[in-house]
Each structure stands twice: as C-alpha cells, then as structure tokens.
Amino acid sequence: MRDKKVTFIVQAAVIAALYVVLTFVANALGLASHTIQVRFSEALCILPVFTPAAIPGLWIGCLLANLLTGAVIYDVIFGSIATLLAAVCTYLLRNHKIACTFPPVIFNMIIVPFVLVYAYGIPAVYFHGVNVTIPFNAITVGIGEVISVCVLGSILMRVLAKYRNVMFRATAQ
C-alpha cells in the first residue's frame, strides 16, 4: 500500500515537472504567445488515461508553469482550474481513445478566452459591428488545443500505450 502511495506521488511530481519544463520550451520558441498558442505541455493532458496521478500532476504543473512564466493571478487560478477539470474528465473518459482528448480542448475553449479578455485586456474583435472577442478567442484557443492535445497528445498516447505496464504500474485506477 505504501509503495502505491509513493508511486502516485512520484508520478504526479514528475508529470508536474514535465509540464513546467515543456511550457518553458514552448515559451522560449515563441509558440505560447500568439493568437494560436501551441503549448507542448498540453500534450501531457492525455496522461490521466494512464494514471490518476496525472490529475494532481497536471494541475500543479499548470499552476507552477503559470506562476513561473509571469501569468496574471486570474490566469494562474482559472487556467489551473481548466486543467484540473479537463484532467478529471479525461480520466473519466480514459476508455474512449478519441473522446478522452476532448476535455482539455473544451475546458480551455470555455475558460481561457475570458481570462484573455478580462485579465489581459486583449483588444476587442469586431465582425460587422458586433463584438466577437470571446468567440474569436475560443476558436483560436481551440485550434491551439487541438494541435497540442488531439494531435501531439494522441501521438504521445499511442507511444505510451506500448509501455503502459512499465511506466504506469502500481497506481490505483
């Protein structure tokens, strides 16, 4: 029993550390600061398919990454909540290979546009005189998430599936 708890904590910590490092890599390459953001760390959002330890790991990793990259407090709070909700739902959908990639896309499309508008004050986007800032940003966030999670995450999921019993053993499902 003790070994399972230790394994759970170690897996969560490693996932959190990887999330932070991959966020810094994407920032260094300028991929996380455009209209469509591609964060390599978001590919890790498929890890709850393999271990429940990914739920706290992703949440803490996102929280730390946002704190360490200078995000505003609302981004730290609400971005981390989006990641936590997505991780829980991904875990619940772990037996559905395609559907399990959707929660991070959906939660980020719903939450992040409001953070961008109200916390960062990004300029309004108008279409035929109508303010479409939130829907526009939902689409751009969604595109980045589809690239990060549905494409890169699916590739990662396929590779990790081959090593599932080696890398993700001894955690309660």
Answer for the pair 104, 83: CB distance below 8 angstroms, yes or no.
yes
Q: What is the pLDDT of residue 165?
A: 79
pLDDT in tens, 142-166: 999 999 999 999 999 999 999 887 7
pLDDT in tens, 75-125: 999 999 999 999 999 999 999 999 999 999 999 999 999 999 999 999 999
CB atoms within 10 A of CB 129: 5
For the whole model, what pTM was predicted? 0.92
Answer for the pair 33, 147: CB distance below 8 angstroms, yes or no.
no
Distance of alpha carbon 48 from alpha carbon 93, whole angstroms: 9
pLDDT in tens, 49-69: 999 999 999 999 999 999 999
pLDDT in tens, 13-28: 999 999 999 999 999 9
- DSSP E strands in the chain: the ranges are 126-127, 130-131
The domains found in the chain, sorted by start residue, are 2-167 (1.10.1760)
